[in-house]
Structure 1
């Protein structure tokens, strides 16, 4: 199945500081492409992979599970570590959850974590119905393009495959138990109005991690896909400042100055 236009993975060879960006559930790299390009323009080495089963059709996603998505970002992070002196992980929604697990599993080799509207739980009755319903119903309504900005759109699926949704539920439950192992500096940005992931998810993550260097930023003008919304520039600026503070080599030879 061909990749949807705009959903292609993105990579940029820059300086000794690298960042891995993880897109969300049923989404694609398109939702983070401006973020990735902004970091590349400031001299960072950037990796923005396409998660298995994403960016093509929901039928492809139906046969993938969280282990497949995590294995992809884990592989990309290992490659990034081979060519960079310092690496950071970042993500949107479920991608934020993937980034947090990378921080758990890779420990001190990850210098910092940036998450935007990170997901921590499948909420509502659907969470309880999923184990049984997935055997009788293939899909439910999609969650893509929760964006306040007029004319902006996310390349994502209009249907959510329930087998994959059940798998992401299991992943969130696993990660919740691992969050106390997150010790790296953490920048969490969340939208004041999010119709996909409630604010309680961010609050739960902040209460569970062991990081002592924690910054929370509230985005007042954006919905869930804030990286394509009114606050996108704020996200990029906060992220670059966060990385620049923790990686002094940003701004030296081989990279452009952060600002």
Structure 2
């Protein structure tokens, strides 16, 4: 199945510090591509994979589950760890949950994490009945392009397969139980107005992780897909400053060459 234009995975061979970026549920690497390119231009090695079932058509997502999505980012992380001296993981929405599980599972192998509007729970009146409803109704309305900035669209699906949403619900419950195992330095950025993931998710994550080095940043001008929104530049700058603090001399200042 052809990949949607803009949804292709992205990789850049840079220095000895690497960053793995994880996109969100029903989204694609397009939502994080500007972030990935920003990091690459500053000399970092970057990996932004396309999660299984994403970036093509919603029917492909219907036959995948959280085990497939997590296996992909876990594989990419292990590959980065063989090539880089230090590795960071960044994620948006469900990508934030994937980031948190990688952190819980891999411990000190991950130097630090940055998560943007991370998902912790499937919300809505229909969430509790997903185990039953998924057998009766195939899809519901999509959740992409929650962006305040005019004229910006997220490449993703306009339908959400309920089978996949049920798997996401199970995954988020699993990750919630593992949050106390997260000990890495962390930056959590979340929008004050988010129509997909409410602020309570960020609050719960902040309250349950065991990390001692935690920075919370409020994004006042963006909706859910903040990496494509008004606060995108701030996200990019804060994440680079975070890497520079924990891995001095990794970030090449003022560079304009990407890959």
TM-score, scaled to structure 1: 0.97
Q: Quote the residue 1:169 is aligned against.
A: 169
Does the alignment pair 1:97 with 2:97? yes
Q: Following TM superposition, by how much is the alpha carbon of 1:140 offset from its aligned partner in structure 2, in angstroms?
A: 0.1
Aligned-partner Cα distance in 1 for 2:156–2:244: 31
Q: Quote the residue 2:253 is aligned against.
A: 257
Q: Following TM superposition, by how much is the alpha carbon of 1:232 offset from its aligned partner in structure 2, in angstroms?
A: 0.2
Aligned-partner Cα distance in 1 for 2:151–2:15: 34
Question: Does the aligned pair in 2 maintain the 1:53–1:62 contact within 8 Å?
Answer: yes
Deviations 1:163-186 (A, max 9, x none): 000000000001100000000000
Deviations 1:42-68 (A, max 9, x none): 000000000000000000000000000
Q: Quote the residue 1:42 is aligned against.
A: 42
Q: Quote the residue 2:245 is aligned against.
A: 245
Aligned-partner Cα distance in 1 for 2:253–2:2: 38
Aligned-partner Cα distance in 1 for 2:249–2:67: 34
Q: Following TM superposition, by how much is the alpha carbon of 1:231 offset from its aligned partner in structure 2, in angstroms?
A: 0.3
Q: Following TM superposition, by how much is the alpha carbon of 1:40 offset from its aligned partner in structure 2, in angstroms?
A: 0.2
Q: Following TM superposition, by how much is the alpha carbon of 1:250 offset from its aligned partner in structure 2, in angstroms?
A: 1.1
Q: Quote the residue 1:17 is aligned against.
A: 17
Deviations 1:148-203 (A, max 9, x none): 00000100000000000000000000110000000000000000100000000000
What's the secondary structure of 2:126's corresponding residue?
Answer: helix
Aligned-partner Cα distance in 2 for 1:67–1:218: 31
Q: Quote the residue 2:228 is aligned against.
A: 228
Aligned-partner Cα distance in 2 for 1:80–1:224: 28
The verdict on how the C-alpha distance between 1:238 and 1:258 changes in structure 2, with shifts beyond 3 A counting, is farther
Q: Following TM superposition, by how much is the alpha carbon of 1:258 offset from its aligned partner in structure 2, in angstroms?
A: 7.2
Deviations 1:6-51 (A, max 9, x none): 0000000000000000000000000000000000000000000000
Q: Following TM superposition, by how much is the alpha carbon of 1:126 offset from its aligned partner in structure 2, in angstroms?
A: 1.5
Give RMSD over aligned pairs.
0.9
How many residue pairs were aligned?
A: 255
Q: Which runs of 5+ in 2 are unaligned?
A: none
Aligned-partner Cα distance in 2 for 1:10–1:223: 24
1:145-164 mapped onto 2 (5 Å cutoff): 145-164=145-164
Question: Does the aligned pair in 2 maintain the 1:21–1:49 contact within 8 Å?
Answer: yes
